[in-house]
């Protein structure tokens, strides 16, 4: 992994599992995170706003223009590590 502009990876966000409101299907609250490539398979993600992050998401916005690419320059795809609320998980 690398970035296509030589800058740290962008468009990462983290959450400590807090929800936007009390409803069980409420979305998690995410904050912008800093990131750095540690080695070829690892990116370290953090934010001074959260002491105990549990989830991370990457490029999770329709207008995200991130800089993370693989060794051949192919852009990374968006992802998230939390689960979608059950009502959004249609099969």
Q: Is residue 87 part of a domain?
A: no
Q: Is residue 89 part of a domain?
A: no
Q: Radius of gyration over alpha carbons of the chain, in Å?
A: 14
Q: Is residue 88 part of a domain?
A: no
Residue 14, strand partner residues: 31, 56
Q: Is residue 68 part of a domain?
A: yes
Q: Give the total number of structural domains in the chain.
A: 1
Residue 63: domain span: 2-20+27-82
Q: Is residue 91 part of a domain?
A: no
Q: Is residue 37 part of a domain?
A: yes
Alpha carbons 27 and 3: distance in angstroms, whole number: 29
Q: Is residue 13 part of a domain?
A: yes
Q: Is residue 15 part of a domain?
A: yes
**pTM of the entire predicted model:** 0.85
Tens of pLDDT along the chain (91 residues)? 999 999 999 999 999 999 988 887 788 999 999 999 999 889 999 999 999 999 999 999 999 999 999 999 999 999 999 986 655 555 5
């Amino acid at each position: 992994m690398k970035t296509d502009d030589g800058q740290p990876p962008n468009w990462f966000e983290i959450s400590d599992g807090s929800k936007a409101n009390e409803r069980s299907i409420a979305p998690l609250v995410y904050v912008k995170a800093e990131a750095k490539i540690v080695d070829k398979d690892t990116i370290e993600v953090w934010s001074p706003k959260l002491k105990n992050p549990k989830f991370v998401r990457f490029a999770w916005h329709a207008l995200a223009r991130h800089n993370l690419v693989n060794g051949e320059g192919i852009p990374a795809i968006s992802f998230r590590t939390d689960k979608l609320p059950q009502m959004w998980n249609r099969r």
